[in-house]
Structure 1
Amino acid sequence: MKFLDWYVKIAVVSATIGASMELFMVKTGFYDKVTVLESEKRAWENTPEAQALREALNPWRNIDGETKKNP
């Protein structure tokens, strides 16, 4: 392979950058914050208010139901 050393250098640099990004996220507590935000989001999505909002914002809800009833 003509450019094998170049590919190896790119792979090493990419792995180093990725590892440094992961280390930064672990050290700053990024994953803990995201876990809390996701759990709050899922808890809110299961509330009656969120379900009513989802139904109100779906203009095709009646059209889809009619289509399934009348094939």
Structure 2
Amino acid sequence: MRFAGWYMKIAGGGAAIGACMELFMIHTGFYEQVTMLESEKRAWESSPEAQAMREAMNPWHKRDEKDK
């Protein structure tokens, strides 16, 4: 435990940097923006256009379903 003080300084510095990053993201509205983008993405993925795109990207999907 010769370098315990050094490790404690590194751990404290890392925790302080992490806390500053979290505060920055909270104050800039990062989480609200990400939540909005994720909900838009999920809404689009469940739309008929997205389903048609998925089917167009895999022309063998009906063949795979018949084999099963």
- Normalised-by-shorter TM-score class: 0.7 to 0.9
1:6 aligns with 2:10: no
Per the alignment, residue 27 of structure 1 pairs with 27
Deviations along 1:1-42, one digit per CA (max 9) or x if unpaired, are: 121111101100000000000000000000111110000000
> 5+ residue gaps in structure 2?
none
- Taking the TM superposition and a 5 Å limit, the aligned residue runs for 1:45-64 are 45-58=45-58, 61-62=61-62, 64=64
Percent identity between the aligned chains?
65
Taking structure 2 as the reference length, what is the TM-score of the superposition?
0.85
Once the two structures are TM-superposed, the CA of residue 52 in structure 1 deviates from its matched residue by 1.1
Alignment coverage as a number of residue pairs: 68
Q: TM-score, normalised by structure 1?
A: 0.82
Amino acid at match of 1:44: W
Could you tell me how far 1:54 is from its partner in structure 2? 1.3
Structure 1 runs not aligned, ≥5 long: none
CA distance in 2, matches of 1:4, 1:60: 60
